[in-house]
Amino acid sequence: MSQPSLQNSDPSASQDPVQPSAALEASGLDSTVQGYVLQQMGTPPILRGLGLAALGLIVVGLVLGPTQMRNYGLVLVCLWAVYAMSVQGLNLMLGYAGQVSLAQAAFMGLGAYISTLLVRDAGLSYWLAMLIAVVVCTLAGALIGFPALRVKTHYLTFVTLGFNILITLVLRNEQWLTGGTGGIQNIPRPSFFGLELDTNVRYYYFCLIMLALVTIAVWFMLRSPWGRAFKTLRDNPARAESLGISVVSHTLLAFALGSGIASLAGVVYAPLIEYIEPAAFELPRSLMFLLMLIVGGRGTLAGPFIGAFLVTILPEWLRFTQEYYLALFALAVMALMIFFPQGIAGLGDTLRRKLIARR
């Protein structure tokens, strides 16, 4: 595992997670050498300093933000945090393990409904309900992944697509349990050891902390030997297998954890909006999560933050685009695929590579 070629996040080799072997074949040895050169050179200190400064500014802005924001803005940023969490889960599957899931919205919905129903009907505390919902959804993710992966890896995508439709059908039709299309209203905000999270400012900090915890957890996972095995898996499954990494069990684990993270996002989402309905968890939302990740930059920790920002907060800043925003976003997706398939967070890397190649 000490070979640099195993660890680098070589963009050209990871261009195509569906068929990594084809991408690797196309780029050949050259990309490995390039990646090695990149790693040896590292990031120029000035760029790294600028990046850290920008990150610091954003964090300070997020922490001090609520004093300057109205309720609407607060809820919007909370929504951003929830989406970013769900997309981070997808990032774990797609960006690092090379599996496309189209059921993130369904798992978010499952998390939201399971926790809400456990609090409302079984009288459990919100935190216990959160734990149960996440455990159930992680297991469900493994259960869905297992048979599909046994057959052929990218059939998992088709199965998750079907799963998302089936889940929303059940949420819609089982009125006695889920309230049908009307959904469930007046979901109470939880309290944390006596601290009521009832105001939007408090809930905002709660969302922020949850997002930070998820991100740190994903970061730790990726730095572990287990996470490095992931990347090898994505970049070259044949090589991974020859190194004794079990493709199926690793992919399955990534898939289960990503589903669990999506359900956690759903558990946080329900009391935020105080209202859940099946329409919020349908297939188009899952497709949107996928686009958020791709546009933001898969395989990078920052990608989900950028992608979620583009879909929740940027439309508010670009109010003048109004109803054209989604069409413009879709155009941007196509343009990005043509010119920068690594997404916005991968832009720096792409440029750096071009600079080094020219030198």
* Site of interaction with another protein (CB under 8 A): 15-19, 21-23, 26, 147-148, 151-152, 155, 158-159, 161-162, 165-166, 169, 172-173, 238, 283-284, 287, 290-291, 294, 323-324, 326-327, 329-334, 337-338, 341
CA distance 338 to 318: 24
Max CA separation in the chain (angstroms): 67
Q: How far is the CB of 6 from another protein (least distance, A)?
A: 19
Question: Among candidates 102, 94, 103, which has minimal Cα distance to 15?
Answer: 94
Residue reference for tokens 């409904």: 113
Residue reference for tokens 């190194």: 243
CA distance 256 to 92: 10
Question: What one-character-per-residue DSSP string does 66-98 give?
Answer: GGG--HHHHHHHHHHHHHHHHHHHHIIIIIIT-
CB 38 within 8 A of CB 44: no
Question: Among candidates 102, 87, 91, 108, which has minimal Cα distance to 158?
Answer: 102
Residue 279, Cα to own-chain centre: how many angstroms? 20
Cα torsion through 34, 36, 39, 44, rounded to 10: -40
